[in-house]
Structure 1
Amino acid sequence: MQTQKNFNLKSYNTFGFDVSCKGFISCNTIDQLQGALSYIKQYPQPYLILGGGSNILFSNNFNGIVIHPAMKEICSVKENDEHIWLDVQAGVVWDELVEHCVNNNWFGLENLSYIPGNVGASPVQNIGAYGAEVKDCIEQVNGIFIENNQAFSLSAEACQFAYRQSIFKGELKNKTVITSVVFKLNKTESYNLSYGPIKEQVEKMGKITLPNVRTAIIDIRKSKLPEPEELGNAGSFFKNPVISKEQFATLHEQHSSVPSYPVTHDLIKIPAGWLIEQAGWKGKALGKAAVHNKQALVLVNKGGASGKDMLELAHTIMQDVNNKFGISIEPEVNII
């Protein structure tokens, strides 16, 4: 195990902020990860577990140790006529896993194509897109408790998944490192095409197939979202707010075009991007931090912006949305 001193994190955060950390440890095995956790116990200091950096905003340099889980194995652990179970280590790039599943004709993750980041972060955020959430395919999450360096396994139910939420953002926040996720995937045809323009996009290709669904999802995402290599961003910056049926009725009276998605009998999800656009922020900027001109949910680094610049923009948008609609929106990204 080697600690790299004064390590630049520009390539480890998709905003492309030019920030550094005091020390950086990349762990290619679980033993190395446990060694890194022992090190920060032996020499107490600030630390951060960092995967692909696709859902993080550094507001400044990090004055501590960054531990980077880089384990990248994909193993089949069980299989029957209907399902296959894959144990996927935390350092696997998320979209490479989705591509692997599609190439093997395993169903379940295709709607989550082209989401940036690594597998280890997927259950923390309960990533979702186009009518699917990763919790729908998770059987088990494995990891290590930071306090005692002991391994754990949690069932999907024990992970307390909710919209962009899990136990790893609640009770176990900053207390664990995820080492692998076990996914249960379908071997028989099963599609989720009900959300947005997916079905129409797939039908343009002539036939509904797993590769065509993945291609459609990627095409839709590319048409709306900038590539981080070209324009630094962390994907959706804000969570879509969930409001009561009564609050929605009032909102609908004032804004009849408001899009909505039922969450439960009493709760309605409103697209944060619509709220931001209606508040006049789509395509606008504060200095070098800006709102993307094709998708108001995405904040971008036009080049040379700092984390503080992005935070100032985010807080201004949140205030304007609240003033106009009486609805609070909050960041989906983790702010360090």
Structure 2
Amino acid sequence: MSHASLLADYSLRPHNTFGFDVRARHAMHIDSVEAAAALVDNARIAGMPTLVLGGGSNVVLTRDFDGVALIVGIMGKRVIGEDEDAWLVEAGAGENWHAFVAWTLAQGMPGLENLALIPGTVGAAPIQNIGAYGLEMGERFERLHAVELATGARAEFDRDACAFGYRDSFFKRAGRGRFMITSVVFRLPKAWTPRADYADVARALEGASAYNAQAIFDAVIAVRRAKLPDWTVLGNAGSFFKNPVVSADAFEALKAREPGVVSYRQADGQVKLAAGWLIDRCGWKGRGIGGAAVHERQALVLVNRGDATGAQVLELAEAIQRDVRARFGVELEMEPVCL
């Protein structure tokens, strides 16, 4: 049985959007389902810790990795079927997410346009249940295929098995590190309905008498570029903290102390708070620790000013959490996985 090449002392700088210069003892590029399934039979890596990496857009690498980094490069995208309501589209886990969204629109299959310009790969999208501007990936998800690393067994997960939550899934919790996602199938509705009521996107579309999915795609890109730093210029992992959700009673008590608190009522009666507002009110915007800093335009984004370490980003994040807890009595939860 042939195996992917085992690379020694491998730099992970190109494989994390923070741009941290950490190294893996070994690395392997996985470009097929067969290569993923064969890992279990590879005596050269038996017993080694493994780290699955796609675009590295949701990870904080705080130290060198003493194991084998598995770089997922399984490519390909195709329409695999349709019914009267939707098209089914499959993409390899290594495909760039934004390029895949653009491709679906080019095929005349809208539905993912609100998720334009999110960094990372298709395979990482279900782990985080990525979302933006009124849409979560889970709403367009049909199923995914994966390989269990310990056994080499191939598995299929439907939406229920993925247990999607707000920036959360089975793969981020109980399944963390157990599976390599190899491809994802999306269900794109034929009866397209625009999601354009998010304030920033609506402003970007002002003046248009009518708009289509491409217009929303373009508007989302414009909004993201205006608000968020380009990770290829200033290393970051996008939104670093989840927007916390509190009970109605906790919100009323908070609002009595902080009348200007930015909030969004939820269907279940709870209230989502704007994490960026909480961080900004604690005076963190533009401040940092070492080379790690809070972005001056968007307090929800932590950045690498060029010489930061993952440990410094983690230290900064924990300081922000302490200040928000002390002032507002609210717990901020980190979105990225810290390793």
Aligned pair partner of 1:315 in 310, 315, 318: 318
Whole-angstrom CA distance in 1 between matches of 2:160 and 2:101: 23
Whole-angstrom CA distance in 2 between matches of 1:40 and 1:137: 39
Provide the residue aligned with 1:257 in structure 2.
Answer: 260
Q: In structure 2, do the counterparts of structure 1 residues 41 and 158 end up closer, same or farther at CA, with 3 Å as the change threshold? A: farther
SS at match of 2:27: strand
CA contact (8 A) 1:205 1:212 kept: no
Whole-angstrom CA distance in 1 between matches of 2:192 and 2:136: 18
Amino acid at match of 1:24: A
Provide the residue aligned with 2:61 in structure 1.
Answer: 58
Provide the residue aligned with 1:132 in structure 2.
Answer: 135
CA contact (8 A) 1:14 1:228 kept: yes
Q: Which runs of 4+ in 1 moved over 6 A?
A: none
Whole-angstrom CA distance in 1 between matches of 2:250 and 2:268: 13
CA contact (8 A) 1:40 1:47 kept: no
Q: Aligned-pair distance for 1:206?
A: 5.0
Deviates more, 1:148-157 or 1:127-136: 148-157
What is the 5 A alignment of 1:43-54? 43-54=46-57
Q: In structure 2, do the counterparts of structure 1 residues 290 and 172 end up closer, same or farther at CA, with 3 Å as the change threshold? A: same
CA contact (8 A) 2:22 2:65 kept: yes
Whole-angstrom CA distance in 2 between matches of 1:210 and 1:131: 14
Provide the residue aligned with 1:335 in structure 2.
Answer: 338
Q: In structure 2, do the counterparts of structure 1 residues 278 and 123 end up closer, same or farther at CA, with 3 Å as the change threshold? A: same
Provide the residue aligned with 1:203 in structure 2.
Answer: 206
SS at match of 2:199: coil
Whole-angstrom CA distance in 2 between matches of 1:152 and 1:238: 31
Whole-angstrom CA distance in 1 between matches of 2:169 and 2:303: 26
Deviates more, 1:73-82 or 1:120-129: 73-82
Q: Deviations over 1:57-82 (max 9, x none)?
A: 11011111001121111121112343
TM-score when scaled to structure 1? 0.96
Whole-angstrom CA distance in 2 between matches of 1:244 and 1:189: 34
Provide the residue aligned with 1:6 in structure 2.
Answer: 9
Amino acid at match of 1:100: W
What is the 5 A alignment of 1:150-161? 150-161=153-164
Q: Deviations over 1:115-154 (max 9, x none)?
A: 0000111111111111110000001121112222111111
RMSD value, Cα: 1.4
CA contact (8 A) 1:107 1:188 kept: no
How many residues are paired up? 336
Provide the residue aligned with 1:185 in structure 2.
Answer: 188
Whole-angstrom CA distance in 2 between matches of 1:4 and 1:42: 11
Aligned pair partner of 1:16 in 15, 19, 25: 19
Q: Aligned-pair distance for 1:295?
A: 0.5
Amino acid at match of 1:330: E
Q: Deviations over 1:216-269 (max 9, x none)?
A: 001100111101111110001111111111111111111222121233323211
Q: Aligned-pair distance for 1:41?
A: 8.8
SS at match of 1:229: coil
SS at match of 1:203: coil
Amino acid at match of 2:180: V
Q: Aligned-pair distance for 1:203?
A: 2.9
Whole-angstrom CA distance in 2 between matches of 1:277 and 1:114: 24
Whole-angstrom CA distance in 1 between matches of 2:240 and 2:289: 16
Q: In structure 2, do the counterparts of structure 1 residues 136 and 41 end up closer, same or farther at CA, with 3 Å as the change threshold? A: farther
Provide the residue aligned with 2:237 in structure 1.
Answer: 234
Amino acid at match of 2:310: G
SS at match of 1:25: strand
Provide the residue aligned with 2:146 in structure 1.
Answer: 143
Whole-angstrom CA distance in 2 between matches of 1:128 and 1:227: 18
Aligned pair partner of 2:271 in 268, 271, 287: 268
**Structure 1 residues without counterparts, runs of 5 or longer:** none
**Structure 2 residues without counterparts, runs of 5 or longer:** none
Whole-angstrom CA distance in 2 between matches of 1:42 and 1:278: 48
CA contact (8 A) 1:25 1:36 kept: no
Identical aligned pairs, as a percentage?
A: 36
